[in-house]
Copies of this chain bind each other. A is one copy, B any other.
Amino acid sequence: MIEENNEIILKNYRIKIQTGLLHQLEEFIKPLWSQRQVALITDDNVGPLYAATVEKQLNKMNYKVVVLTIPAGEASKSWRQVQRVIELLAQNNFVRSDGIIALGGGVVGDLAGFIASIYMRGISLIQIPTSLLAQVDSSVGGKTAIDLPAGKNMVGTFYQPDLVLIDSTTIKTLPKRMLVEGYGEIVKCAALVGGRFWAIVQRVNEPEDIIRQAEKLIYASVSFKAGVVQQDEKETGLRKLLNFGHTFGHAVELLEDGRLMHGEAVAIGMVHVMAVFEQKGMTVSGTTAAISERLERVGLPLDAPELGTPAFYRAIQHDKKIRGDQLTLVYVKKIGEPAFFPLKTAELKNWLGAAI
């Protein structure tokens, strides 16, 4: 991995983070993509804000552009949208050498990425994430997914884009709740990394500070994540670090059935997994409070009624990251010092005891 000029170069693609990038697409796309048809996949929230800007530049580069708009929201990560978009690609005679650009948040990125990975066994992909969560999380690492009734992200692929373009100015148009949920993932990364990254996070004491510090926060998060992913593309080892807060978080998110956003669920998951380890004396005293305080400052939730209920344990059993009957909890011994704690899924409830 090479880092310079807010640009992170992974094995096969690069991630460019830059203010105003959305208006400078030609510089990055033109050298990469030969003449081709491009499907610009977006949703009905992001499309009206940015699709015309992107389309205009693509037309100027002489690509033939087809704009495909999906309904905004998690419900679009469905078989129905996969089939609908793929039918449209086929009707427009898209072939392997054409391309897909995903313009939107995590839903658009996950869905368009999944489609790109399976249409004709793989068509080129560029990610332009516009939500903070997608910028720091889902657009990096090549995970694509749709949901099943049985759980989120149960179907998907690992598929790397040719390029990820992150324009931090797009987060200014996000509803406050979406801005703040993206920041939940940033705090997760900062707690794992510590040092200078944790220091930057100390400057965020209200939601508006997220926008003020956006470029630094995004860059720190993405370079951490890219480094981890680079070393472990298929999530067999180190990449599990990124699951900090996710074992409890995913379960709560599933049970809240859409009422909690992903970054909110991760915030809750992080605080509670940390509380357990701190209570057991495996974490430096005060670490949980330090993390909670950062999350609380921007108004992230720290609690959910489902924690520790029978439904909560059942949801954890369905987590696709659990290898057979084993699960691995991620925690930090102190800020910047992550650790793994493996245990049998069946023993989780007993082990947690009254700690949750």
Contacts and interface: CB of A to CB of B under 8 A. Distances in A.
Interface of A: 34-36, 79, 83, 86-87, 90-91, 93, 95-98, 114, 117-122, 143-145, 148-151, 153-158, 234-235, 317-318, 320-324
A127 B135 CA distance: 39
A320 B120 contact: yes
A157 B144 CA distance: 13
Work out how many copies of this chain go into the complex: 2
Closest 10 CB pairs of A and B: A90-B150, A120-B320, A97-B323, A97-B324, A121-B156, A118-B155, A79-B83, A90-B148, A95-B322, A96-B320
Contacts of A156: 118, 120-121
Given A95-B322, A148-B87, A322-B95, A120 B154 contact: yes
Contacts of A145: 121
A157 B117 contact: yes
B157 A121 contact: yes
27 contacts: A34-B324, A35-B324, A79-B83, A87-B148, A87-B149, A90-B148, A90-B149, A90-B154, A93-B317, A95-B320, A95-B322, A97-B323, A97-B324, A117-B157, A118-B157, A119-B155, A120-B155, A120-B156, A121-B143, A121-B144, A121-B157, A121-B158, A121-B235, A122-B157, A122-B158, A122-B234, A157-B157
